[in-house]
Amino acid sequence: MPYARVIVDIAASAIDREFDYAVPKDYPVDAVPGLRVQVPFGPRHIEGFIVALSDTTAVPQEKIRPLGRPLEERPAILPHLMDLALWMRRRYRCLLVEALRLLIPAEMRKGRVRAKQRNQISLAVLPQDARARAEALPARFARQKQLLALLAGGADDAQVRRAMPDAMPVARALEKRGLVRIGSVRALRTPYRALEMGQDAQHVLTAEQQIAAEAIFRGMDAERGAFLLHGVTGSGKTEVYMRAVAHALEAGRSAIVLVPEIALTPQMVQRFRARFGNRAAVLHSGLSQGERFDEWQRIRAGEVSVAVGARSCVFAPFANVGLIVVDEEHETSYRAENAPRYDAVEVAERRCAAEGATLVLGSATPSVARYYRALHGDYTVLHLDHRVEDRPMPQVQVVDMRRELAAHNKSMFSRPLQQAMAETLARGEQMILFLNRRGFATFVSCRKCGEAMTCPNCDVAMTYHSAEKTLKCHYCGAQLPVPDACPACGSKAIRYFGAGTQKVEQQLAALFPEAKLLRMDRDTTARKDAHLHILKRFAAGEAQILLGTQMVAKGLDFPNVTLVGVMAADTTLHYPDYASAERTFQLIAQVAGRAGRDVKAGRVVVQTYAPDEPPIALAARHDYQTFYAREIMQRQAGQFPPFGRFVRFLVVSAQQQRAAGQARALCKEIARVVAHDTHLASQVLLLAWMPAMLSRLEGRFRYQVLLKMLPDARNDALIDAAHACLNDALFDGCSITMEVDAQHMV
Ligand code: ADP
Ligand code: ZN
Ligand code: ZN
């Protein structure tokens, strides 16, 4: 086939199409779809992906140019992943090249990272001959004699390097004599060296685990099936995942395991590494470039069969996936924040369907929309209703902070929490204190006029950091000293509101001066692997208290933790988001699940100003079913997902007028197109433009256009029509992005 259709690696809608090139007769590798190649493009040479081959071309012969050199020996993108990219282009209305870029490590592009090579020295002659030649060498070649003796004695690479750190020049001299060979081997950069393999404890499955595992096995044997594993915290979901992975490996297939945020779940990785050893690779964005590249290569080369990783791991280049597991499927981190705004759970679902693999979604608090789909037959629900070994669910006590205030307790710690902490410390056990960061950080305002100190670039309050005595913006990173006087009215009465982790830390030190504390938040975890070290120290018992933000809410499993304190449960409740009740329920249920996971019983204290709010009261009772029943009714009444869908366009510009004007123009254009088609019009529930909740960010103004529609299959026509309204005239110096099935309206 003489022509290759190539997508060039430039993200611009104007060139989001295939260009034809002639495949030279003597091309050094097989020119197949998925191969990355260099191609002449205008006056330049740029990188591109072959997406198809063809015998014919519409381009006139004199204009056809030949392919440039291949960038790899074998195609970086497997055929089924090429199909996946085409599906993503359609599903997320992104450029094909944007989808293709997700399929390879970013550093592979433009050749920024290559495989690392290491020299390997080996004997070119038999050991006894080497010994004889060493004897025969004159005494002044002492180092050559030494190296020969080492090699003849069977020393391996590491031993040679240890005994003779500078062996290379010596080896080269011996190479000239024909006595040794210098080869080159791939040196692997292995992530998580800091993480010990640990002991694998393969448990005898409980009856519930057994039933769930067998259902999954049957699905895998039939090469299909999608399961929602609804298991309470501590019910042993991970053990079920691992059995399913083992089942895939036995069948000669591979498995992908997605976790919400891998830095926060080192224990999960540890358990997979302990059981599957070097057959498991770890992929996530916190790796160094070299590490990520090598892990990806190991998967692509078929050297490993299990990949554990965060969102992007769903693209792991396995040829033969039998299973994809998504742990904590309800987590919002599975959705990409930047274009293409893909949903890894949806991509996993699509991969499984296309590649004959089985999907397992696990959660203690399934997302309401997906649970609804499960009840309507899209997934088989499997239940783990009990903790392993009949351990009780933790006792949750809800404390009304309004009463604390009425009783003149102005501390951030209620009396029941203080008492529980004292008891826990006295018993020599550990506790986790959870501070919901959103809306709960310290901000600084004027007592006189009420003006809050906001970021000069963003429309948000700045957060006070007592250690450095500065104000920081958590969106753009801007830093300012705390002003002496109010910038609005000049008053000197500056007041500090709310509580960040640092303030809690101070109050704790005053309450329990003898207790040791570890803090885990954005400030203490900026460095690579910092999470890991904090968690390791906590596991080793170096501290009795782990204080942190959202980061401590997930997946942690410490046997000695018997108390969990939620400092303010209601901070997510009033967030302007249709799913704020769901998020509050999930957060409390998840945090509470960290207590009493081993033989010692656990206790949870939840502090709130709204103790009767259903998400809080029901999470405290571990009552998902009632929560779901209430929530789904409210969603239906308001036509929120899964009963309605949101498409959101975000319009951003440095000029407010322009952003607002383009949002209005886009809204009008969509309205005009829809009005022409009664069919489309009947699907629209709402169409409006408005400032985004975060109306200014990093100095740029943000407006949004919201299109709410019925959850009907025909909506794709409506989405297409709306997307088609995004013409170049509209952009006018603004950036406009479209998000299908948008979740947060921030
Ligand atoms: P989940 O992910 O559902 O919260 P985990 O898989 O972390 O629960 O299991 C909780 C704890 O129970 C872990 O320490 C795990 O090793 C242990 N465990 C899992 N299955 C069993 C079993 N069948 N028997 C005994 N212990 C088990
Ligand atoms: Zn800012
Ligand atoms: Zn003021």
pLDDT tens figures, 348-393: 999 999 999 999 999 999 999 999 999 999 999 999 999 988 888 8
Q: Is the CB of 235 under 6 A from ligand 1?
A: yes
Phi, psi for 255 (deg, rounded to 5): -140, 145
pTM, 2 dp = 0.82
Nearest CA to ligand 1 atom 2: 237
pLDDT of residue 113: 56
- Confidence label for 410 from pLDDT (cuts 50, 70 and 90): confident
- The tokens 């040829």 sit on which residue? 319
Look at residue 264 and tell me whether its pLDDT is greater than 80: no
Look at residue 440 and tell me whether its pLDDT is greater than 60: no
Distance (angstroms) between ligand 1 centre and the Cα of 309 equals: 20
Distance (angstroms) between ligand 3 centre and the Cα of 454 equals: 13
Mean pLDDT in residue range 610-621 = 91
Pick from 384, 414, 419, 413: nearest CA to 593: 384
Q: Is the CB of 239 under 6 A from ligand 1?
A: yes
Nearest CA to ligand 1 atom 23: 205
Percent of the chain with pLDDT over 70: 91
Q: Is the CB of 203 under 6 A from ligand 1?
A: yes
Mean pLDDT in residue range 600-623 = 88
Task: Specify the range with the lowest mean pLDDT, choosing from 16-25, 158-167, 186-195, 719-728.
Answer: 186-195
pLDDT digits (tens, 9 = 90+) for 695-722: 888 889 999 999 999 988 677 889 999 9
Distance (angstroms) between ligand 2 centre and the Cα of 694 equals: 11
Mean pLDDT in residue range 98-125 = 77
593 CA closest ligand 1 atom index: 4
pLDDT of residue 164: 84
More confident residue, 549 or 605: 605
Q: Is the CB of 743 under 6 A from ligand 1?
A: no
Look at residue 315 and tell me whether its pLDDT is greater than 50: yes
- Confidence label for 325 from pLDDT (cuts 50, 70 and 90): very high
Mean pLDDT in residue range 628-638 = 93
Between strands 645-653 and 735-740, the pairing is antiparallel
Nearest CA to ligand 1 atom 17: 236
Indicate the average pLDDT of the chain.
86
Ligand at minimal distance from the CA of 491 is: 3
pLDDT of residue 23: 94
pLDDT of residue 86: 94
Task: Specify the range with the lowest mean pLDDT, choosing from 76-90, 137-151, 301-315.
Answer: 137-151
pLDDT of residue 195: 47
Phi, psi for 445 (deg, rounded to 5): -145, 170
Q: Is the CB of 206 under 6 A from ligand 1?
A: yes
238 CA closest ligand 1 atom index: 6
Distance (angstroms) between ligand 3 centre and the Cα of 484 equals: 11
Between strands 321-326 and 254-258, the pairing is parallel
pLDDT of residue 498: 61
pLDDT digits (tens, 9 = 90+) for 150-187: 888 888 777 887 888 788 888 888 888 888 888 766 66
201 CA closest ligand 1 atom index: 16
Nearest CA to ligand 1 atom 24: 203
Q: Give 428's contacts (C-beta < 8 A, 6+ positions apart).
A: none
- Confidence label for 326 from pLDDT (cuts 50, 70 and 90): very high
Q: Is the CB of 52 under 6 A from ligand 1?
A: no
Q: Is the CB of 430 under 6 A from ligand 1?
A: no
pLDDT of residue 134: 84
Neighbours of 661 (CB within 10 A): 17
Look at residue 13 and tell me whether its pLDDT is greater than 80: no
Residues around the ion ligand 3 (C-beta < 5 A): 446, 448-449, 451, 486, 488-489, 491
- Confidence label for 405 from pLDDT (cuts 50, 70 and 90): confident
Nearest CA to ligand 1 atom 22: 203
Q: Is the CB of 715 under 6 A from ligand 1?
A: no
Ligand 1 pocket mutation pick from 200, 202, 203 by most atoms within 8 angstroms of CB: 203
Q: Which long-range contacts (CB under 8 A, 24 or more apart) does 680-688 make?
A: 680/717, 680/718, 680/721, 683/709, 683/710, 683/712, 683/714, 683/715, 683/718, 684/708, 684/709, 684/718, 685/639, 685/644, 685/709, 685/710
Phi, psi for 503 (deg, rounded to 5): -70, -40
Distance (angstroms) between ligand 2 centre and the Cα of 459 equals: 7
- Its sign, for the CA torsion 501, 503, 506, 508, is negative
Q: Is the CB of 236 under 6 A from ligand 1?
A: yes
pLDDT of residue 111: 66
Nearest CA to ligand 1 atom 5: 236
Q: Is the CB of 362 under 6 A from ligand 1?
A: no
More confident residue, 438 or 702: 702
Neighbours of 541 (CB within 10 A): 12
More confident residue, 42 or 458: 42
Q: With contact defined as beta carbons under 8 Å apart, do 117 and 187 qualify?
A: yes
Look at residue 577 and tell me whether its pLDDT is greater than 90: no
Q: Is the CB of 205 under 6 A from ligand 1?
A: yes
Pick from 353, 331, 545: nearest CA to 434: 545
Task: Specify the range with the lowest mean pLDDT, choosing from 39-48, 235-244, 399-408.
Answer: 399-408
